[in-house]
Chain A
Amino acid sequence: MQAKIEQAAAAAGAHAPAGPAGASRRSKGRRPSAIGKEARLGLLLVLPAVAVIVILIGYPTISSIWYSFTDRMVGSPGTFIGLANYTRLVTDSGFLSAAANLVLIVGVSLILKLVLGTVVAVILNRPMPGRNLWRLLVMLPWAMPGFVAFMGLRLMFESPYGAINVALETFTSPIPFLSDPEWARVSVVLATVWRGFPFWAISILAALQTIPKELYEAARMDGASAWQQFVHITVPQIRSTVAVVAVISAIWTANGFENIWLMTQGGPSTTTMTFPVLSFLSLQSRQLGQAAAYAVVILPVMALFIMLLSRRKKEI
C-alpha cells in the first residue's frame, strides 16, 4: 500500500516544476492560486454551454412546473391555485388511463423491441448474401418520418377496408383494430414496436460485433451448444448495451406523441391515452396550467429513467 502511495506521489512529482523554484512555489501556496486561475478559465469556457442549457432546458422546465400550480390560460398570466391541477387528476379518467398505459405500452413495447431487435441483430451478424442491403432495409422504419410511418400504419389498421383486414378477409370478419379498446392498445404497441425495433437491432448488432470470436471458438471446443453460447457469451457481452438502449427507448416511448396521436388520438375514449396526448388536448382548450400539470406529473418517472441511464453509462 505504502509503495503504491509512493508511486503515485512520484508520478505527481514528475509533472511538478523541476528544481527548487517549483518546490518553493508549492511551499508558498501559489500552486492553488494557479489552479484557481485554471478553474476560473474552465468555468468561463463552459459558461456558454451552461447558459444554453439554462435557457433551453432550465427555463422551460421551471416555467412548466410553475404553470402547473396556476390556472394560466393562453394569453393570461393566471393565478396561483396550489395543487388544484394535480388533485383534479385523481378523478380524471384520461389521467388514470395514461398512467396505466405508461406501464403497459412502454413495458410491452420494450419487451417486444428487445426480442425482435436481438433476433434481427443476431441474424444480421451472420454472413449472408446482401447483408449490407438487409441492414439498410431493417433501418427503414426508424429512418422514415414518424408522420409517414404512423399514417401508413393507421391506414393499414383501418376497419373494414385497411390492408390488414383486406388480407384477412377470407379468414375472419373485419377486426376493429383501432376502435375496439383492446385491439387499439395492441395496434398502438405493434406500431410502436415496428417503428422502434431497428434502433435496438442496430445497437445490439454493434455490440455483437465487438465480441471476440475467440470466445465462441473456445466455447465450441468445450462442447457448448449454440444456445449455451448465446446465454453465456452473447448475453453478458451485450447486456450493458441493452440496458442503455432500454432506458433511452423507454424515455422515447413514454414521451411519444405521434404514434398515439396519428393512430388513435388517445382513443377510443381514453384507452390509448398517454401523458403527451393529454397535455396536447389541454393545450387545444388553451389551458396551459392543466397541460403543464400533465407534463410535470411524468417528470419523476423520466428522472428515474435518466438516473438509471446515467448509472449504466458510468458502469460502461
Chain B
Amino acid sequence: MRHSMKIKGLGVLAVLAMLATGCSAETGGNDAVAAEGLGTPSPELAQAAKDFKGPFTYWIGLTFPESSNDLEAARIKAWGDNLGIETEIVKVNQNEVVQQTSGAIEAKSLPSAMTVPYDLMSTMSTGGQLSPVPDAYTAVGDAHGGWLDSIDAATKATSFGDKIYGVPFGFFGNVLFSRADVLKEKGFDAPPKTWDELLSQSKAAQDPPKTFGMGFALSNVLDGNLTTSMMQSFGGRVADDAGKQCTINSPETANFLGWIKGAFDDGQFPPSSVTWDGAGDNNSFTSGESLFIVNTGSVYQSMKKDDPDLAESSAYSALPAGPKGQVAPVDPRYRVVPTSTSDAGKTLAQDLFTTLADDTYMAGFMENATYGPVLKSQLEYPVFTDSPVHAGLLEQAEKGTAPAFPDTANASYSDYQNAFSTPRMVQRVVVDKISIDKAMAEAQASCQTIYNQHAS
C-alpha cells in the first residue's frame, strides 16, 4: 500500500516536472523576444514607476493566432518587471471591444492603456476619453524610419483637431481570398479586378448548393461592413464632405443595392450569409462552401496550420473596384491612453508604446499576427515577402484608401458602422424584399439620427 502511494506520488511529481519543463520551455522562447531591448529605465521613468499606484492594466485586442497575444502579453510583463511595476493584461475580443469599452467608460474603469481600432479611437477622442500622445508618436516614428504616409494621414485626420491620440502598431486590411484551383478549371487565371468581374466568375464557377461564389457576410457583424466599402466603390456615400449630413439616399447607392440584390436573388451568396456570425464567412471558405471571401488574413493563418492544401490552392489579391474605383480602407490599430490614467501612468504608457515598437519584437509579433505595416522599418520584415497575405497587406499599405474614404472619418461615421447600418439596409432589400427606395430612406433616417446625436 505504502509502495503504491509512493509510486503514485512519484508519478504525480514526474507529471508536474514534465509540465513545468514544457511550460518553461515555451515561455522561455517568448521571454527572449519579449525582453529584447529593455534597458535601464531613465530617472524620469523610474520616478513615474515609483509614483504609479496599483497594477498597470493593459487591454490587448485579441488577434489570431493566440501565440501573438501571448507574445504581446509576455512583452508587456517583461517591460513591467524591468520597471518594477505590476502589470495586468486583459485580452479583449476585437468584435466586442466597443461594448466592453463603452461599459468601462460608463463605469469609469478604463484600463491604464489599451489597443483600439481607428473607429473607437475616433469616438473616444471626440468624447474626451483619450489623452494626446504626440511625443510617443514622434519618438516611435523617428526611431523606425518614419510613419507610412497613409497611416500618418489617418492619425492626423482633421477630425482629431490637430491632436494625436494614439500610436499605431499595425493595420487591418481586407484581402480578397479566391479559390484559384476552382476558378482555373473554369478558365479564370487571375483574381477579379472589379466587382462585376467577380460576379461573372462566381456565376461561372459556383455549383450550388455545394458551392457558392460570393461568401460575403450580409449580417449584423463587423465583416458585414464590407458592404459599406462596396457601396462606396459604386459611388455611394454615407455622408457629405463635412461629415454632418447623411447622403445615403442617392442614385449611386440605388445602383449598388440593385447590383447586390441581383447577385443575391441569382443565388450567388450562400443563403446563410444573412445570419452569419463573426466567423461565418471564414468557416464558409475553409469548409469549401464559398469561392470568394474577404478577410484580414486570419483565415490564411488558420489554413496554413490546419489545411495547407487549401492555403496553397487559394489566391490572395486586393479588393475589387466598383464603377467609381477601388475602396480598400486601411484600418490602423492604435495604442492609446485614457484620460482617466494618472500622470505617472501616462508617462509609463508612452514608454510602453515605444517599447512595443521595437523591431525585433514586432518582427516576431507580425510573423504570426496578420497586421499590415505602419512604420517604414516594418517594410523590411521577412514576413511581408514570405507570406502572400502579408504581401497583399504591404501592397495595401501603399495603395489602400484612408479609413472611411471617400467619406469623412469621424465619430458619427464610426457609430454608423458600429450600428451595421449598410448590411441592415442590404438585408431589408434582399430578405424583406422591400423596395430599394424605401430601404435607402430608412437607412438615411437612421444614419441622420446618429449624425445628429454627434452634432448636438
B-binding residues in A (CB < 8 A): 71, 73-76, 79, 88, 91, 93, 154, 158-161, 173-174, 176, 178-181, 184, 262-271, 281-288, 290
A to B CB contacts below 8 Å, 21 in the list: A74-B106, A74-B123, A75-B102, A75-B106, A76-B127, A93-B442, A158-B272, A159-B272, A173-B209, A179-B274, A263-B275, A265-B219, A265-B221, A265-B277, A267-B219, A268-B274, A271-B431, A282-B419, A283-B102, A284-B420, A286-B418
- Name which residue of chain A comes closest to B442, CB basis: A93
> Interface SS of chain B: helix, strand, loop or mixed?
helix
Category for how many chain B residues contact A: 35 or more
Complex contact B432–A93 (CB within 8 A): yes
In the complex with contacts A158-B272, A285-B450, A265-B220 CB distance below 8 A: yes
Docked pose: A197 CA to B199 CA in angstroms = 46
A75, A79, A282, A287 interface centre (most CB from chain B within 10 Å): A75
Q: Decide if B424 is an interface residue (CB 8 Å cutoff).
A: yes
Complex contact A160–B209 (CB within 8 A): yes
Complex contact A74–B102 (CB within 8 A): yes
Docked pose: A255 CA to B450 CA in angstroms = 26
In the complex with contacts A93-B432, A269-B431, A271-B431, A75-B275 CB distance below 8 A: no
Complex contact B271–A180 (CB within 8 A): yes
Specify which chain A residues have a CB less than 8 angstroms from the CB of B99 in the assembled complex. 283-284
Within 8 A of A (CB), among B121-157: 123-124, 127-129
- Name which residue of chain B comes closest to A165, CB basis: B209
Known contacts A73-B127, A284-B418, A287-B415, then 9 further A-B pairs from the complex at CB < 8 Å, ordered by chain A residue: A93-B432, A154-B277, A160-B289, A271-B432, A284-B99, A284-B420, A285-B419, A286-B98, A287-B453
- Name which residue of chain B comes closest to A183, CB basis: B271
In the complex with contacts A75-B129, A285-B415, A287-B450, A264-B105 CB distance below 8 A: no
Q: Decide if B428 is an interface residue (CB 8 Å cutoff).
A: yes
B123, B274, B424 interface centre (most CB from chain A within 10 Å): B274
Specify which chain B residues have a CB less than 8 angstroms from the CB of A154 in the assembled complex. 277
Q: Decide if B4 is an interface residue (CB 8 Å cutoff).
A: no
The 9 closest A-B pairs by CB, nearest first: A285-B419, A75-B127, A269-B431, A268-B274, A269-B427, A179-B271, A74-B102, A285-B418, A268-B431
Instruction: With both chains docked as a complex, state the minimum distance between the C-beta of A203 and any C-beta of chain B, in angstroms.
Output: 33
Chain B window 97-112, contacts with chain A (Cβ cutoff 8 Å), 1 for yes, 0 for no:
0110010011000000
Q: Decide if B456 is an interface residue (CB 8 Å cutoff).
A: yes
Q: CB < 8 Å: which of B102, B105, B431 contacts A181?
A: B431
Instruction: With both chains docked as a complex, state the minimum distance between the C-beta of A82 and any C-beta of chain B, in angstroms.
Output: 14
Complex contact B275–A268 (CB within 8 A): yes
- Name which residue of chain B comes closest to A174, CB basis: B209
Complex contact B418–A179 (CB within 8 A): no
Docked pose: A180 CA to B220 CA in angstroms = 16
Q: CB < 8 Å: which of B98, B129, B271, B428 contacts A93?
A: B428
